[in-house]
Amino acid sequence: MIGIIDYGSGNLRSVYNALRYLKRDVEICDGPGRLAKMDKIVFPGVGSSRDAMEGLGKRGLIGPLLKEIKSGKPFLGICLGFQLLLEKSEESGGCGCLGLVKGAVKLFPAGKGIKVPQIGWNTVAIEKKNCPLFGGIDDGAYFYFVHSYYCDNGQPEYTAGVTEYGVKYASALWKDNIFAVQFHPERSQENGLKILENFVKI
């Protein structure tokens, strides 16, 4: 059973539908009671880091979520779900995040000839060819992005994929049982479904 974290916002239904399309048992988890019974955890996200952390806190999910991740259970963070893995975010005046990976979430720099937010298709250069998420995915494949902030990974040894948009930044991460992507696989057509399929097979 795959548990999808519900913190009060986010694109839960599209991720849920994508996993159901892959014929997987899925449950939306908005409290700590069910997390321990899940085989894998997916954290999709849209919105601000501060609101998401507050939503997790109000639902009593921060401690249980960290416990399940640290137990070795496979975890996939999507977009904001990736950003919250870092130590802190500049968004909404700044806030602390889950701190599972060193680094900070930063606003795309102004004056680089880019529009913020980044909305649309962009490529991912695969840094770790052996990352299970990227099995069957070509280097430089396109995925769909929607975000104003990017992950400045303070532990580059865990960067699995890199994208360029004004700056080069970590667009995919792999640390032991923790996987995360800045793009939206549920909106990235064939390549995105392959990412999700790879994750559920881990």
> For residue 9, what pLDDT is reported?
72
Per-residue pLDDT reduced to its tens digit, 40-52: 999 998 888 999 9
147 catalytic, yes or no?
Answer: no
Cα distance between residue 135 and residue 73, in whole Å: 20
Q: Are 160 and 106 in contact (CB under 8 A)?
A: no
If you average pLDDT over residues 155-177, what whole number do you get? 97
What's the whole-model pTM score? 0.96
Q: What value does the mean pLDDT take over residues 92-113?
A: 93
Tell me if residue 79 is catalytic: yes
List the CATH number of the domain containing 183. Answer: 3.40.50.880
Lowest mean pLDDT among 28-37, 66-75, 80-89, 150-159: 28-37
- Is 184 known to be catalytic? yes
Question: Which domain covers residue 138, as residue numbers?
Answer: 2-200
Q: Which of 29, 79, 95, 97 does the annotation list as catalytic?
A: 79
The number of CA neighbours under 13 Å toward the Cβ of 173 is 33
Count Cβ atoms below 10 Å from residue 118 Cβ, excluding itself: 19
Percent of the chain past pLDDT 90, that is, above it, reads: 89
Strand 88-89 to strand 103-107: parallel, antiparallel, or no bridges (unpaired)? parallel
Q: How far apart are CA 94 and CA 115, in angstroms?
A: 22
What pLDDT digit, counting tens, does each position of 167-194 carry?
A: 999 999 999 999 999 999 999 999 999 9
What integer pLDDT is reported at residue 25 of this predicted model?
94
pLDDT tens digit string along 113-137?
899 999 999 999 999 999 999 999 9
In the set 68, 91, 186, 197, the catalytic residue is 186
The pLDDT of residue 196 is above 80: yes
Question: What is the pLDDT at residue 113?
Answer: 84
User: Tens digits of per-residue pLDDT, 9-36?
Assistant: 767 889 999 999 999 999 999 889 889 8
Q: Strands 149-153 and 2-5: what pairing? A: unpaired
pLDDT score, position 8: 81
Q: Count up the domains in the chain and report the number.
A: 1
Q: What pLDDT band is residue 148 in, cutting at 50, 70 and 90?
A: very high
| Mean pLDDT (the chain, rounded) | 95
CB 169 within 8 A of CB 161: no
**Residue pair 104/71 in contact by the 8 Å Cβ criterion:** no
Q: Which one of 29, 68, 147, 184 is the catalytic residue?
A: 184
pLDDT given for residue 10 in this prediction: 66
Q: What is the dihedral of CA 70, 74, 75, 78, to 10 degrees?
A: 160
The pLDDT value recorded for residue 83 is 97
In terms of Cα–Cα distance, which of 28, 32, 75 is closest to 178?
Answer: 75
For residue 17, how many C-alpha atoms fall within 13 Å in the half-sphere facing its CB? 7
pLDDT surpassing 70 at residue 158: yes
Contact indicator for 63, 70 with CB cutoff of 8 Å: no
